[in-house]
């Protein structure tokens, strides 16, 4: 049952979210996941930003288009049930392309267009949320909302985001690229 004062997730919810993320990556997408400390995560995030800047600088035709786009995508999946909230997965777009391409048989992503990447990345986040809630509470029912995928602001990095040090966030590395997975309780939950 859902209400404005929904109970908070169980204490072990964060670890279960990380485990569900690893399970989906490794079993469904054949991607290697490892934990990541703050220092390595910062290095990888900065490397992603440098790569994006280098691509913009090296391609004059696409520089203005690329400057208006972020390299980072966020997928959110809301849920309601015993407790309410959302999970958020934030990662660099090349990783989203690789994940979607791998499930479609195009791991290099050459044939994918933006809406396919967004749809596939949303489904990836949906799978993570579903696996997490199932593992966390096998006897409870939850309502999953459709995933929402957005492109972060062009100057956004995970290092400047207010959720950087959130204890509900996990910093991980998937195929040598940084990923942040976070549980966001419903506003009003304690």
pLDDT at 20: 94
Question: What is the average pLDDT across 5-31?
Answer: 80
Sign of CA dihedral 65, 154, 33, 18: negative
Residues facing residue 29 across a β-bridge: none
Q: What is the token pair recorded at 187?
A: 């506003």
Residue 20 CA: distances (Å) to CA of 76, 98, 108, 168: 15, 19, 25, 14
Residue 23: strand pairing partners: none
Residue 84 or 155, more confident? 84
pLDDT at 57 (0 to 100): 52
Name all domains of the chain by residue range, CATH numbers in brackets.
13-185 (3.40.1550.10)
Question: Alpha-carbon distance 11 to 13, whole Å?
Answer: 6
The Cα diameter of the chain in Å comes to: 56
Instruction: For residue range 60-99, list pLDDT tens digits in order.
Output: 444 443 444 568 999 999 999 888 999 999 999 999 999 9
- The pLDDT tens digits for 161-188 are 766 566 668 899 998 999 999 988 766 5
Share of the chain above pLDDT 90, in %: 44
- Residue 113 phi, psi dihedral angles, 5° rounding: -110, 165
Q: Do the Cβ atoms of 90 and 72 come closer than 8 Å? A: yes
pTM over 0.85: no
């Amino acid at each position: 049952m859902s209400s404005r004062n929904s109970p908070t997730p169980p204490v072990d919810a964060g670890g279960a979210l990380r485990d569900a993320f690893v399970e989906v990556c490794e079993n469904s997408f054949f991607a290697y996941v490892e934990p990541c400390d703050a220092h390595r995560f910062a290095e990888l995030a900065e490397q992603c930003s440098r790569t994006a800047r280098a691509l913009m600088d090296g391609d004059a035709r696409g520089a203005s288009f690329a400057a208006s786009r972020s390299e980072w995508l966020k997928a959110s999946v809301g849920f309601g049930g015993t407790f309410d909230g959302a999970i958020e997965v934030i990662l660099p777009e090349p990783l989203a392309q690789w994940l979607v391409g791998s499930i479609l048989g195009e791991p290099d992503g050459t044939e994918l267009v933006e809406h396919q990447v967004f749809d596939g990345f949303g489904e990836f986040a949906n799978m993570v949320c579903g696996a997490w809630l199932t593992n966390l509470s096998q006897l409870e029912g939850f309502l999953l909302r459709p995933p929402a995928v957005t492109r972060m602001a062009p100057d956004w990095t995970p290092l400047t985001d207010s959720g950087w040090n959130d204890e509900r966030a996990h910093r991980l590395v998937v195929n040598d690229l940084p990923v942040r997975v976070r549980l966001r309780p419903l506003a009003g939950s304690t």
